[in-house]
C-alpha cells in the first residue's frame, strides 16, 4: 500500500462544474496536508494547506480533512479550463515536515 494514494484520472468535468479530488494516506500520525497544482512541464505550486479536521476555503478552492478516515480532498468550484493540470496531494508524516507526495490526479476541464 502506498503511503499517499490518489486516483490517477483523468477526471473530466465541464467548465463551471465542481471538481472533487481525493487523497488517502496511511499514517495516522500525519500532521500536515497540502495540495499542489502542476502544469505539464512546470514545477508544482502550492494551492492549499490544511492541518486540522474540517474545511478550509480559499477563493474557489476548499480543502477538506478527515483524520479519522485518513482522507483529504480538494474541491474546485466554478472549474475553468485553466484549472486543467495534475493535482498532487502531499502529507507530512511527522514533525520533520518532509513531504510524501501522491502520484497525482490529472484534471481536465472541458470548455
Partner 1 sequence: EADIYQTPRYLVIGTGKKITLECSQTMGHDKMYWYQQDPGMELHLIHYSYGVNSTEKGDLSSESTVSRIRTEHFPLTLESARPSHTSQYLCASSIYGYTFGSGTRLTVV
Positions in the binding site for partner 1 (CB under 8 A): 32, 34, 36, 41-46, 49, 88, 90, 96-99, 101-104
Q: Which is nearer to partner 1, 76 or 91 (CB)?
A: 91
Cis upstream peptide for 74 (omega within 30°): no
Please report where in the chains the cell 502531499 appears, as a residue: 90
Q: Which is nearer to partner 1, 17 or 27 (CB)?
A: 27
Asked whether 47 and 39 are in contact (CB, 8 A), the reply is: no
Instruction: Quote the least distance from Cβ 56 to partner 1, whole Å.
Output: 13
Instruction: Quote the least distance from Cβ 104 to partner 1, whole Å.
Output: 7
Q: Within a 10 A sphere around the Cβ of 13, how many other Cβ atoms?
A: 18
Q: Which is nearer to partner 1, 10 or 81 (CB)?
A: 10
Report how far residue 32's alpha carbon sits from residue 60's, in angstroms, rounded to the nearest whole number: 21
Amino acid at each position: 500500500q502506498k503511503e499517499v494514494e490518489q486516483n490517477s484520472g483523468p477526471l473530466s468535468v465541464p467548465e463551471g462544474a465542481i471538481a472533487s479530488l481525493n487523497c488517502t494516506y496511511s499514517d495516522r500520525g500525519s500532521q500536515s496536508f497540502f495540495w499542489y497544482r502542476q502544469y505539464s512541464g512546470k514545477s508544482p505550486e502550492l494551492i492549499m494547506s490544511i492541518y486540522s479536521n474540517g474545511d478550509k476555503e480559499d477563493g474557489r478552492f476548499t480543502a477538506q480533512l478527515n483524520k479519522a478516515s485518513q482522507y483529504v480532498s480538494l474541491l474546485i468550484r466554478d472549474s475553468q479550463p485553466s484549472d486543467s493540470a495534475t493535482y498532487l496531494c502531499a502529507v507530512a508524516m511527522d514533525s520533520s515536515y518532509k513531504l510524501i507526495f501522491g502520484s497525482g490526479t490529472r484534471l481536465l476541464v472541458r470548455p
